[in-house]
Each structure stands twice: as structure tokens, then as C-alpha cells.
């Protein structure tokens, strides 16, 4: 930037219940005239005179920055977030300086910018000392504002993601892992697992012997299962035959226990003849 700023940080001393002024010197170190504009993030809190103008080569302009009175002083540890922005652009020497709005509208890409921070100082703080840092040694203020680039933003995002991932991994390592409560395993499951996964130190002959025993046990269990099923389940034909026999057995005693048909017929005939003779 062809415009030098002094100081690099605006420090205002307490008390703030009355006006506090600070001088910002703008010096042109270029060979061409420079047009400048001073902006602030808190225009109602500060009075800047002059806030724009033209500086010839090798000359300077003192800008008066006045902090308006406050109702009460902020706490001693309050950090001021106010900032100033100084914009400048070279203009031809033979032409008159156009209004800053026209320059900003037509030559926005050529405008140079410099940010200035504001610090609150105590009553006994030296004028060249701001929050423990000298104005000359504050590189963050003297450096130009960062330029937005997609590549830089993506690299910063990747670095932030990697740092957050490292922090999460460190946090997971620092927290002791609580042992999970083991659930009781049934005995049959243990036996099945033991049979499914034989020890590695058994020989081939022992494994074959165990396999043969397992087959014998399986055959015996299958035989017992078939026997139980035969006992429980009866053949449909046999069950139907047994049911029919049972029905006949029940019906036969009912027929033998009653009066035969011939006897009934004889009785009817006897009563008919008796009635004929009497009446």
C-alpha cells in the first residue's frame, strides 16, 4: 500500500464519560496523488474529520478520530471490537479528484484497503502501548487484509476437519472404555460352540474319532426322535378304523337293548283284535 498509517492501532485512554480524541496520520509515499476514504464499523460512536480527501506525493494528512462520550466506563477487561477501514487509490495529478463514490464505483478493483483496530487503554497505560503490544510490532494490523480464494478456503476447511478429527481421537483415547456387561450364555450354546470350534492342538486322528462319535450320537438321537413321533402320531387309516369300530360298538348295544320289530307288530295286532271284539 502506497499510504502509510500511523499509529497502526487506535488506543483510547479512559475515562470514556467525556470525549477522547486520537490522531491518525496518513502519509503518501507514492509518486502520484492519492485519494483516501476512512470508514468505521461504529459510525455513531466516532466522529472522523476529515473522512476523505486527497494527499499529494510526499505529504500527509492528520485525521482526527473522536470517541463520543459514554454513559459509563465499560469494565476494565472489555475488549473493543470496533475497527476502521482506510481505503486509498492513486489518481492522476493533472485531473481534479472525483467524488469517492464515483471512484469506488468505477475503480473498485484498484482500491487498496487497510484495517485499523481500536483498543481501550487504562489511565496509566503509555500512549505507544496497547494491551501489552507496541504499535510498531503488531504485524496483524500492518498486514493487508486476506484475499478470498476458494483454494485457500478449502485448504483451511480441510485443516480444520483434520484438527477436529485429531481432537476427537485424542478425546476417545483419554476416556477409559467401560467394559461391556457380559450376558450369561446357556449351557447348550456353550456345548454347541465347543463342538463347532475344536481346539487347534488336537491331532487328525482325534478329530476323526470325535467326528465318528458325533455321528453315532446323532443317529441314536434321530432313532429316539422317530420312536417318539410314532408313539404320538397314529396312522390315519388305523385311527379311522378304530373310530368306526367304536361307533359300531356303541350302536349295537342300543339296538339289542330295545324291543324287536316283530314283537311290536304282534302287540299291535293283539290290541287291534281286542278292540274289535269289545267295541
How many domains are there within the chain? 2
Q: What is the mean pLDDT of the chain?
A: 73
- pLDDT the model gives residue 38: 96
Least confident of 37-41, 78-82, 144-148: 144-148
Least confident of 41-45, 168-172, 254-258: 168-172
- pLDDT the model gives residue 48: 96
Same domain, 142 and 11: yes
Domain that holds residue 7: 3-146
- pLDDT the model gives residue 206: 74
User: Any idea what the CATH number is for the domain that residue 103 is in?
Assistant: 2.60.40.10
- Residue 7: asked if its preceding bond is cis (omega within 30°), the reply is yes
pLDDT: is 213 or 57 the higher one? 57
Mean per-residue pLDDT, 229-243: 61
Distance CA(62)–CA(4), nearest Å, equals 12
Distance CA(26)–CA(23), nearest Å, equals 10
- pLDDT the model gives residue 277: 73
39 domain residue, yes or no: yes
- pLDDT the model gives residue 253: 46
Contacts of 80 by beta carbon, 8 Å cutoff, 6+ apart:
117, 118, 119, 120
250 domain residue, yes or no: no
Edge-to-edge strand list for the sheet holding 34-40? 9-13, 112-121, 83-90, 34-40, 52-55
DSSP summary character for residue 109: G
Contact status, residue 6 vs residue 116, Cβ threshold 8 Å: no
Classify each residue of 252-279 as buried b or exposed e, where b means 16 or more C-beta atoms within 10 Å of its C-beta.
Answer: eeeeeeeeeeeeeeeeeeeeeeeeeeee
pLDDT: is 276 or 243 the higher one? 276
157 domain residue, yes or no: no
Amino acid at each position: 500500500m502506497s499510504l502509510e498509517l500511523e499509529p497502526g492501532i487506535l488506543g483510547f485512554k479512559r475515562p470514556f464519560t467525556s470525549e477522547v480524541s486520537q490522531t491518525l496520520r496518513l502519509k503518501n509515499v507514492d509518486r502520484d496523488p492519492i485519494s483516501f476514504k476512512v470508514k468505521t464499523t461504529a459510525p455513531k460512536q466516532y466522529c472522523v474529520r476529515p473522512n476523505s480527501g486527497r494527499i499529494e506525493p510526499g505529504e500527509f494528512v492528520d485525521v482526527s478520530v473522536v470517541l463520543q462520550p459514554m454513559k459509563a466506563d465499560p469494565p476494565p477487561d472489555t475488549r473493543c471490537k470496533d475497527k476502521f477501514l482506510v481505503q486509498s487509490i492513486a489518481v492522476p495529478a493533472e485531473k481534479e479528484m472525483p467524488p469517492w463514490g464515483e471512484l469506488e464505483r468505477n475503480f473498485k478493483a484498484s482500491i487498496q484497503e487497510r484495517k485499523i483496530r481500536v483498543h481501550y487503554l487504562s489511565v496509566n497505560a503509555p500512549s505507544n502501548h496497547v494491551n501489552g503490544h507496541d504499535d510498531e510490532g503488531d504485524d496483524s494490523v500492518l498486514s493487508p487484509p486476506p484475499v478470498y480464494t476458494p483454494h485457500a478456503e478449502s485448504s483451511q476447511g480441510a485443516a480444520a476437519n483434520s484438527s477436529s478429527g485429531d481432537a476427537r481421537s485424542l478425546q476417545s483415547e483419554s476416556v477409559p472404555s467401560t467394559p461391556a456387561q457380559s450376558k450369561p450364555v446357556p449351557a447348550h450354546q456353550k456345548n454347541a460352540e465347543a463342538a463347532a470350534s475344536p481346539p487347534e492342538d488336537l491331532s487328525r486322528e482325534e478329530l476323526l474319532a470325535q467326528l465318528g462319535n458325533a455321528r453315532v450320537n446323532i443317529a441314536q438321537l434321530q432313532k429316539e426322535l422317530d420312536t417318539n413321533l410314532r408313539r404320538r402320531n397314529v396312522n390315519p387309516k388305523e385311527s379311522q378304523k378304530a373310530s368306526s369300530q367304536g361307533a359300531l360298538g356303541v350302536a349295537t348295544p342300543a339296538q339289542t337293548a330295545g324291543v324287536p320289530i316283530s314283537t311290536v307288530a304282534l302287540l299291535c295286532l293283539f290290541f287291534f283284535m281286542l278292540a274289535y271284539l269289545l267295541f
